């Protein structure tokens, strides 16, 4: 676990415009001062991330979030119910919001999240400002779920890495946009969408990119979360040369969850794909399309895209 001294040092680095990889309950993030244009630009640069893809802004609590964006009743309800936790809310920016426009890619909305991890919370509080935190991987690659994976992704970059151990959930946060009309599920994630629907009613699918209306989440359109090896989903068994990633009774060289537990599978997903990466191909057993399985399958479909 990370010491208070390390967190203090990391917070000073953030305040000075530096980058810090930090643990959350979902995946490791690459943190920078969200109000500092140059620091935010450095995050895009470090990740090789297209600048049209906005970043999530991390806050220590609901009070801080309400100073940055317009919270309506539904947003307040969801934040009360699920924060701190793996839910990101996309809301209208407040008129005097100090967050860099670069962070939100010029959109008039902001993605806000309050992570449930003691190191993340301590870092945000010590820095005393909102922190952008895209997953700490090179753009398009597997998200890191350990400090070692984050360090490997960032290579020679001069970013401090705070070690908070392996991420408990292992899949990115669920992203929900609240505007006029029904809430929209922009990214299925570690919080089961059904839990959100129980609070605010049915979640709409994002509008197709070309249609008028709210812009879909830019990150949804890209090949993403991908190992270097070609990946095949819904596989009953491996073909010659392929490594098999099993689930439940469909066994393989590694198994996401021998007992068929979706939460365990989510926590293992990125780390196991990393272990099998570099092989001729990776075949992944079928994952049921329910609960967390929806988010796992979302990541696998994007990873399989070529």
Query: Residue 90: which of 191, 4, 174 has the closest Cα?
Result: 174
Q: Give whichever of 56 and 75 is closer to ligand TXA, judged by the CB atom.
A: 56
Q: Contact with ligand TXA (CB under 6 A): which of 13, 26, 268, 297?
A: 26
The residues of the shown chain that bind Mg ion, judged by CB under 5 A, are: 135
Query: Residue 134: which of 172, 176, 102 has the closest Cα?
Result: 172
Q: Contact with ligand TXA (CB under 6 A): which of 2, 135, 255, 257?
A: 135
User: Which partner, Mg ion, ligand TXA, none, binds residue 27 by CB below 5 to 8 Å per kind?
Assistant: ligand TXA
CB 6, CB 169: distance < 8 Å: no
Q: Contact with ligand TXA (CB under 6 A): which of 104, 145, 257, 297?
A: 104
User: Which residue's entry shows tokens 């970013």?
Assistant: 159
Minimum CB distance to ligand TXA, residue 248 (Å): 25
Q: Give whichever of 157 and 254 is closer to ligand TXA, judged by the CB atom.
A: 157
Query: Residue 27: which of 153, 186, 185 has the closest Cα?
Result: 153
Instruction: By CB under 6 A, tell whether 90 contacts ligand TXA.
Output: yes
CB 56, CB 38: distance < 8 Å: no
User: Which partner, ligand TXA, Mg ion, none, binds residue 29 by CB below 5 to 8 Å per kind?
Assistant: ligand TXA
By CB under 6 A, the count of residues binding ligand TXA is 28
Instruction: By CB under 6 A, tell whether 217 contacts ligand TXA.
Output: yes
Residue 84, preceding bond cis, omega within 30 degrees? yes
Instruction: By CB under 6 A, tell whether 257 contacts ligand TXA.
Output: no
Q: Is 207 left (phi over 0), alpha (psi -120 to 50) or beta?
A: beta
Query: Residue 14: which of 167, 120, 135, 144 has the closest Cα?
Result: 120
Q: Give whichever of 142 and 235 is closer to Mg ion, judged by the CB atom.
A: 142
């Amino acid at each position: 676990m990370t010491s208070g001294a390390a967190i203090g040092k990391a917070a000073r680095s953030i305040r000075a415009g530096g980058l810090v990889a930090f643990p959350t309950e979902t995946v490791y993030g690459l943190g920078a001062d969200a109000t500092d244009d140059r620091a935010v630009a450095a995050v895009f640069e470090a990740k090789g991330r297209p600048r049209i893809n906005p970043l999530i802004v991390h806050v220590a609590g609901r009070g801080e979030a309400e100073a940055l964006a317009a919270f309506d009743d539904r947003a307040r309800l969801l934040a009360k119910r699920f924060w701190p936790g793996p839910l990101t809310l996309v809301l209208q920016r407040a008129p005097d919001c100090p967050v860099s426009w670069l962070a939100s890619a010029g959109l008039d909305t902001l993605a806000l999240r309050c992570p449930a991890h003691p190191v993340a919370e301590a870092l945000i509080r010590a820095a005393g400002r909102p922190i952008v935190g895209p997953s700490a991987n090179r753009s398009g690659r597997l998200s890191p779920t350990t400090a070692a994976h984050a360090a490997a992704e960032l290579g020679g970059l001069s970013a401090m890495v705070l070690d908070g151990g392996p991420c408990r959930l292992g899949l990115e946060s669920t992203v929900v946009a609240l505007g006029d009309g029904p809430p929209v599920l922009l990214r299925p994630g570690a919080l089961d969408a059904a839990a959100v629907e129980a609070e605010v009613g049915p979640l709409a699918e994002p509008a197709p990119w070309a249609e008028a209306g709210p812009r879909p989440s830019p990150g949804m359109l890209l090949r993403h979360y991908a190992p270097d090896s070609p990946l095949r989903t819904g596989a009953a068994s491996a073909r010659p040369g392929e490594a098999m990633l099993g689930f439940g009774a469909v066994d393989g060289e590694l198994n996401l969850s021998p007992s068929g537990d979706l939460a365990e599978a989510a926590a293992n997903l990125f780390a196991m794909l990393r272990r099998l990466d570099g092989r001729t191909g990776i075949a992944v057993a079928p994952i049921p399309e329910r609960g967390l399985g929806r988010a796992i399958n979302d990541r696998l479909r994007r990873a399989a895209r070529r």
